[in-house]
Structure 1
């Protein structure tokens, strides 16, 4: 095997373009593995774990592009590096006549799209604040997809928006559904009478798809950005969104999704909930509200429970129906767990490799009931913080969407390459017998999930005959990827697919619990 490297000093390419180049490189004859990433500290760690680290990459800086190839022969490596250079130098295809025109700037965009009232901002964080302020001046609501925006800027923007009766979603807001239109990472869901406010993108996707798949629908789904519920921001957008949905005639049920807010902020949120006449369901993962705030307030422990309670309220069903749905799922899980545990010859470990951070939180709420301690790079309790996210031990769940994995890389909902490597590497470990995954469909997500993930799954099963792979698939039948096709393809490969992340966590945990009894 031969490893060769090229460093391109000061060469910046967006992460999705680099992902596409890397995928094409891996298809070059003779190539074993490749990395095409910005040479950040975080990416160097990932490259090292892949066995591609060279002295040239170690010396490279954050603003340098690193191209590393492992190939069967020196000639294969040279051919791959030449191909990489050619791919990077290719000019983007020109837009065809009649396609969307690229605006010269914000003013031009506003003029071109007469009547537009929402701007989506996805630029480097240091530029996002000024651009958002300019949008507010032009009376545009704003969704800030960008992260790394100073918290002081976030607060200033949200306060300015409040004064003008406008909404700022974000920063780091990746999901919303406004008037039926999915924005950024979102799904194709039914319209209906349930309004969602979420300080969690993946959480928003999970509840909206579960609601839609159960035959109910969404009026609006407003993302706030995860930092909104922190003490520094004060839930400015969340509370504003609650007021908007409370006043919206099309919204009859409100659903709040968040990780546990700061206690002082939770007090503000609960005070607002008590003012709302409509029924409110709330899930604060890892921080359930136990007191009865008002007659029609319904706390939930998991995303699944919250979604099904909202469905019952929206359809006028008794809440017992939500318990029935979950109970039936648990019966199925227990049967599957017995079958899978019977394959295990020893007590084993579980590894969760997630693209959705909220799913990691939900896993930490559910799994300890079955397996005991669960460690994570995004722990709900800091005492369970992993020392090294690339060196897992015991039961562990990883958020591959954390900054340590995404600086200079596409989000793992788009780019499966890192998780695929971890699926294979974890499957090779003799102590691992359960892999717990998520697969998130919808707009913005990977459009060919089966093509990209199945080779890794097939290889994982080859390396580990006792392995169980459990996943949920967050999506709907009308998503671009079509959920039923993805589920069918995964099941054909031997993966156990559950309807929800909570269901997948319970099943994976039960397999571990039963295996431990041997």
Structure 2
């Protein structure tokens, strides 16, 4: 094998661009392994583990980009590197990734604003140590901020959000990957129709699921405001959520607010929903305690599906039955399983959808273990005979490889591994469409699913998160998985319920209210 490594000093590209480059590299003929990444200590460690000579990147740091290719020939490595450069640098300059490309792009926020003085939002994706300063610069320039960066301290987040509130601006993040303002999609986002429900979310794929369901159920969306996953924790105190809700109360284009969160602090969640006085609010608080008390007129749900159903009802319409026809599909899938197959395995690309699955499955099956557990004591490694759900977007699965929303490789490995376990009854997958996601996920995942079901393995339940407007083709993706023998559901929560029903051989469970 040929090990080819090239360093691009002082060339920072954000994580989405890195992932795009990595995908192009690995898709090239003759490539065994490849990565386009910043020279952080963790990425350099992974580089060494893959057999590359680190002397070639001696002195490199987090602002330096490397492209590494392990291929069967020098020609294959060169072709792959060219494809990776094309994916990363096209549109930044001459497309070659050289000095001209970097010189033609603004090097600072100030330069970017000077070139485009009408801008009103800054999308910031730099290393976490530098992200706070850049966000402060954006606020000083009168911009709202989508802070895509992670590894930003809680104290910096609090300082930024307090300042944004004083200035009447938004700071969405850190770790905010999804937003839609003025019907402009930012980060990972789905194409949704205009409507009069606004989504405020401390959950990335939770925001996408809520917006996609509202679109598919004929209501549409006015705005999607991402908050970052920590906003509703006790430490951050809902600083941006309260501000966003108050702003939407005054927004003439919004009639209903749908608040979405991973498991929140109860007192913080209560303060946020109280900020909506004067406008209908539905709070989809995943895993919230059943004794949570909300103000009169506020509808509280424990799943995204139920939240979207309630928001549709608040608009005076009725959502379609998400369980329609599902019992028959579950009955067929369960009928081919041997009695030894009893366990559920969830392999998720969306962190919020993994949390929701833990809630739904635990209600029916009891304890479910995860790398992002809802309760202490239910982490990994799981004991024998335990149900498990994995968030494959967490760092332990993305270190040195693309996010599973962009690259299917990690899930394909785990799909085959879990299918080989004779105790596994059903595997649950989420497939996220939209801007930033894999261009055709069913083309890679569906054949693996078909092989599993055809070989007498476990059942596979798939939920496709998307809309008719998404570039991947929502119905085409669903059809690809259905043709592969998968059970395809209408919502993410219903996929987990279907998985539990298959494991228990109880098709009637699919109609349980969520």
- Shorter-chain TM-score range: 0.7 to 0.9
Give the whole-Å Cα distance in 2 for the aligned partners of 1:253 and 1:224: 18
- Whole-Å separation in 2 of the counterparts to 1:333 and 1:164: 50
Q: 2:122 aligns with which of 104, 119, 122?
A: 119
Secondary structure of the corresponding residue to residue 269 of structure 1: helix
Gapped regions of structure 2 (runs ≥ 5): 95-100, 508-514
Change beyond 3 A, Cα 1:190–1:290 = farther
Determine the C-alpha separation between the residues in 1 that align with 2:423 and 2:12.
Answer: 39
**Which of 480, 491, 502 is 2:482 aligned to?**
491
**C-alpha deviation, 1:45, in angstroms:** 11
Tell me which residue corresponds to 1:432: 424
Conserved 8 A contact 2:205-2:351? yes
Q: CA shift at 1:471, angstroms?
A: 1.1
TM-score after normalising by structure 1: 0.83
- In the alignment, which of 152, 155, 158 is matched to residue 155 of structure 2? 152
Query: Residues 419 and 152 (structure 1 numbering): CA distance in 2 closer, same or farther, change over 3 Å?
Result: same
Note if 1:370 corresponds to 2:370. Answer: no
Counterparts of 1:271 and 1:89, CA distance in 2: 50
SS at match of 1:437: strand
1:473 maps to which of 459, 464, 482:
464
TM, length-normalised to structure 2: 0.84
Counterparts of 1:100-499 in structure 2, within 5 Å, are 102-273=105-276, 276-288=277-289, 290=291, 293-314=294-315, 316-317=316-317, 321-322=318-319, 325=320, 328-330=321-323, 332-348=325-341, 349-387=343-381, 394-461=386-453, 464-499=455-490
Query: How far does the alpha carbon of each residue in 1:140-181 deviate from its partner, in whole angstroms, 9 at most, with x for none?
Result: 111101111111111111111111111111010011111111
Whole-angstrom CA distance in 1 between matches of 2:107 and 2:77: 35
2:503 paired residue among 483, 488, 512: 512
| Aligned residue pairs, count | 487
- Given candidates 488, 494, 502, the residue that maps to 1:503 is 494
Aligned to 2:322, the other structure's residue is in SS state helix
Q: For residues 458 and 20 of structure 1, what CA distance do their matches in structure 2 show?
A: 29
Could you tell me how far apart the structure 2 residues matched to 1:180 and 1:85 are?
36
The superposition leaves residues 86-129 of structure 1 with CA deviations (integer Å, 9 ceiling, x where unpaired) of: 666779446689x9x73343223222223221111111111111
Q: Any conservation in 2 of the 1:37–1:65 contact (CA below 8 Å)?
A: yes
CA contact (8 A) 1:347 1:515 kept: no
**How far off is 1:21 after superposition?**
4.8
Kept in 2: contact 1:196–1:257 (CA 8 A): yes
With 15-24 and 278-287 compared, the bigger mean Cα shift is at 15-24
In the aligned structure 2, how far is the partner of 1:17 from the partner of 1:200?
23
| Contact 1:288–1:300 under 8 Å retained in 2 | no
Partner-residue secondary structure (3-state), 1:341? helix
Other structure's SS at 1:189 match: coil
On the 8 A contact 2:25/2:69 being kept in 1, the answer is no
Superposition CA RMSD, Å = 3.5
Residue 266 of structure 2 contacts residue 288 of structure 2 at CA under 8 Å; is this kept in 1? no
Displacement of 1:452 after TM fit? 3.1
Task: Classify 1:446/1:85 alpha carbon distance in 2 versus 1 (closer, same or farther; 3 Å).
Answer: closer
How much has 1:382 moved relative to structure 2? Answer: 1.7
- Once residues 102 and 66 of structure 1 are traced to their aligned partners in structure 2, the CA distance between those partners, rounded to angstroms, is 20
C-alpha distance in structure 1 between counterparts of 2:66 and 2:435, whole Å: 28
